[in-house]
């Protein structure tokens, strides 16, 4: 009986979580590319590049650690962090550029 309850509880939880996952949205701690581009006004960065950078920040970087809120560090601190962390994450070329552009633009937009 206990086993059945635990199993049903687990399956029910999984079902609810899967359904709730269908709804997704931006997190204030990690502004979307559109938000960053809109709030910066004079921003000339390509939105697609910013979106790519956000994706890297919230997926590749979180393979090893939780994503820190953008507001936690200054632009200069973020540049130093990326300098250290990008090689560890295997980020090179366009991906690294996109990450830095997003983090810097997002920080400046706050």
Partner 1 sequence: MQKSFSCARWASLFLVILFGFAGQAQAGARRFTYVYEATTAAPGPFEFENWVTWKTSPRDERRFNSVDFRHEIEFGVTDHLQLSIYLADWGYVEDPSENEHGFNYQDSAVEVIYNLTNPTTDLLGSAVYGEVKAGRQEVELESKVILQKNLGRFVFGYNATLEAVWEGEHLEEQGGEFSEALGVSYEISPAWLVGAEFLHEIDIPDWSQAEDSVVYGGPNLSYRHGNWWATITPLVQLTNVASEVDVQTRVIFGFSF
User: Where along the sequence are the contacts to partner 1 (CB under 8 A)?
Assistant: 2-3, 6-7, 10-11, 13-14, 17-18, 20-21, 23-27, 30, 54-56, 58-60, 62-67, 87-90, 92, 95
Closest CA to 10 of 52, 18, 82, 72: 18
In the complex, minimum distance from the CB of residue 42 to partner 1, in angstroms, rounded to a whole number? 26
In the complex, minimum distance from the CB of residue 85 to partner 1, in angstroms, rounded to a whole number? 9
CB nearer to partner 1: pick between 1 and 42: 1
Exposed/middle/buried for 102, CB within 10 Å: 0-12, 13-18, 19+? buried
């Amino acid at each position: 009986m206990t086993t059945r309850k635990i199993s049903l509880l687990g399956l029910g939880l999984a079902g609810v979580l899967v359904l709730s996952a269908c709804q997704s949205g931006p997190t204030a701690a990690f502004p979307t590319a559109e938000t960053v581009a809109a709030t910066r006004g004079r921003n000339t960065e390509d939105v697609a590049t910013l979106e790519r950078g956000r994706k890297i920040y919230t997926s590749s970087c979180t393979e090893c650690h939780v994503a820190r809120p953008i507001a936690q560090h200054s632009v200069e601190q973020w540049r130093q962090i990326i300098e250290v962390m990008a090689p560890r994450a295997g980020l090179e070329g366009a991906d690294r550029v996109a990450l830095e552009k997003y983090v810097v633009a997002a920080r400046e937009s706050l």
